[in-house]
A and B are shown apart, each in its own frame.
Chain A
Amino acid sequence: MNGLSGNGHEEPSLYEKLLSERETFNAILDFSRRSYSSEPVLCFDTIQNYRKSRRMTFRMKIANNILETFLSKNSPLELNIPKIDSLHNELLFLIKEKNETKIDELLEELRVHCLLDMNEMMTRMNSEYPEMFRKAKQEIYFSTINSAFSI
């Protein structure tokens, strides 16, 4: 993981890179399922879909899906997060108001929370699949060097 601040401001991280590629994402999801810790992985992926979507109706649908799947008490994929009821109500209100800016902000905080909640699982996975992590680190390193030269 690179440069997490724990408060919503982070540079592109190792975890994000691993989660952005289909093959490594599937490996992470499989690993997390085997250890009963897939909620933050699936929620992170859904938020990424929200971020990529352009059409407002589709974005609202995804936001609703996040609300019901990850931020509802006793839902099978409930996130491990403090004050889940008030978060649920806040997002519900914003969806009703169609306040995209505020939804974006809230989901960005949730995305960082998911990354942080993957810490322990990713550390274990790194122990078992060091090559996967090493390769991703190397790619981040080379891409940083390339960007520096292109400037």
Chain B
Amino acid sequence: MGNIVVSPHDKEGQHHMMATPTSNNPNGGSAATAKNKSEITVLLLGAGESGKSTLFKQVQFFHGVGITHDQERIELIEIVRLNVLENAKNLVAATQHLNIPIEQPENRETAKLIINSLNTNDLEDPSWSKRLYSLWKDAGIQKAYENREKFQLYDSTEYLFENLDRICSDKYVPTVVDVIRTRTKTIGITDMKFDVGDGKQLRLVDVGGQRNERRKWIHFFNTVDAVVFLTSLSEFDLNLYEDNGYWRVKESLRVFNEVVNNALFYKVPFVLLFNKRDLFEKKIATKSFSKYFSGFNEAEEKNPVACIEYMTKLFLNEITEHPLDTVSVKTLSAIDHDNSKQVFEEVKQFIMTQQHRE
């Protein structure tokens, strides 16, 4: 793996915005000629909150782009703090919705401030670290957190609350891990390019995953050389952000079906990544997996390997058109730097091998 390629709009290897693709081959011919192409376009697809942007940020980080630099991360202070506030606000709202009282009077006061007036600037004051941490540890908030499948909450909640002493400081500079773990909804499409040897560049394209974002994906379908589809293992008990009455697994399967069986992708290598394995393993230790899948053997529900095998079958059963020998399945914990690096390297090798086979 080589250097980041700087596009005409880039400065010092920063990732750049994508221009409208110039290729206009309606038959997906790019895949057929991919062996001779100097640029391999890989699309990261998947429903909302499946971890596409987390993996994208990790790949940027491997290549020394963007968040590697302090100055880039300083610009993200507001976003990290906004994540803290949004999580706090969602937890407080959940206590009301679930009728769980916040136990300590001083925490109830903090909750009121969160709902009514607290903003990201306030979090420069270290006293907020103690107040928010005390709220986080309140038995009422912890009970709401245990029931987090009933409302929308970021995966990073626990991490952010456990790091409040750093975040609520006027000297705070987000670490790479803070940035990786901060949730920012992707709107639209972003890309980055890097050398992969043999005079070739890999162009990695990240997209938004919610329903209204998906119609934008088609702009890149004609030029794609490989698809990496992410789905979250830990979403088995969750509903959608954009449609709170709709089960995330069902949505993910539907989107996967539409993408993998799309005629434009018949000839392209396809990788299915089961992400958030770390969260999944924690979750099945306390929550029932079989409750959500009638065909799964209840006796095996604490065994992550058996659960993942079941999920894999569920997804692979959706494949009706795509040749199975060009599909690869892997698990991933995108928040884990080393794991992301290793899995992405395997994905890259798989794609390159498939390209050479053609």
Contacts and interface: CB of A to CB of B under 8 A. Distances in A.
Interface string A32-56: 1011111110000000000000000
Contacts of A32: 188
Contacts of A10: 119
B279 interface: no
Nearest to A76: B215
Interface size, B (range): 35 or more
A10 B9 CA distance: 33
Interface in B164-213: 184-190, 208, 210, 212-213
A1 interface: yes
Interface string A1-38: 11111110111000000000000000000011011111
A9 B187 contact: no
A133 to B, nearest CB: 8
Nearest to A37: B188
B66 interface: yes
Contacts of A34: 17-20
A1 B184 CA distance: 14
A128 B241 CA distance: 30
A32 B53 CA distance: 18
A104 interface: no
A38 B17 CA distance: 13
A9 B119 contact: yes
B210 A124 contact: no
A1 B212 CA distance: 26
Contact of A128 (B16, B120, B210, B243): B16
Contacts of A126: 75
B78 A4 contact: yes
A36 B85 CA distance: 28
A120 B14 contact: no
Q: How large is the interface on A (under 10, 10 to 19, 20 to 34, 35 or more residues)?
A: 35 or more
Contacts of B242: 80-84
Contact of B117 (A9, A40, A83): A9
B247 to A, nearest CB: 15
Q: Is the interface of B mostly helix, strand, loop or mixed?
A: loop
A119 interface: yes
A92 interface: no
B72 interface: yes
A74 to B, nearest CB: 8
A121 B208 CA distance: 11
A24 to B, nearest CB: 16
Contacts of A39: 187, 212
Nearest to B12: A127
A123 B187 contact: no
B153 interface: no
B75 A123 contact: yes
A36 B219 contact: yes
A120 B76 CA distance: 10
Interface in A88-143: 116-121, 123-124, 126-128
Given A2-B121, A34-B19, A81-B242, A123 B89 contact: no
A4 B120 contact: yes
B289 to A, nearest CB: 26
B190 A35 contact: yes
A119 B14 CA distance: 17
Which 5 residue pairs spanning A and B have beta carbons closest together? A37-B188, A3-B121, A5-B119, A36-B188, A3-B119
23 contacts: A2-B120, A4-B120, A5-B117, A5-B119, A5-B120, A6-B85, A35-B188, A36-B219, A37-B189, A78-B212, A79-B212, A80-B210, A80-B212, A83-B243, A117-B185, A119-B82, A119-B184, A120-B186, A121-B187, A123-B75, A123-B79, A124-B15, A127-B14
Interface of B: 9-11, 14-20, 53, 66, 72, 75-76, 78-79, 82, 85-86, 89, 115-122, 152, 184-190, 208, 210, 212-213, 216, 219, 241-244
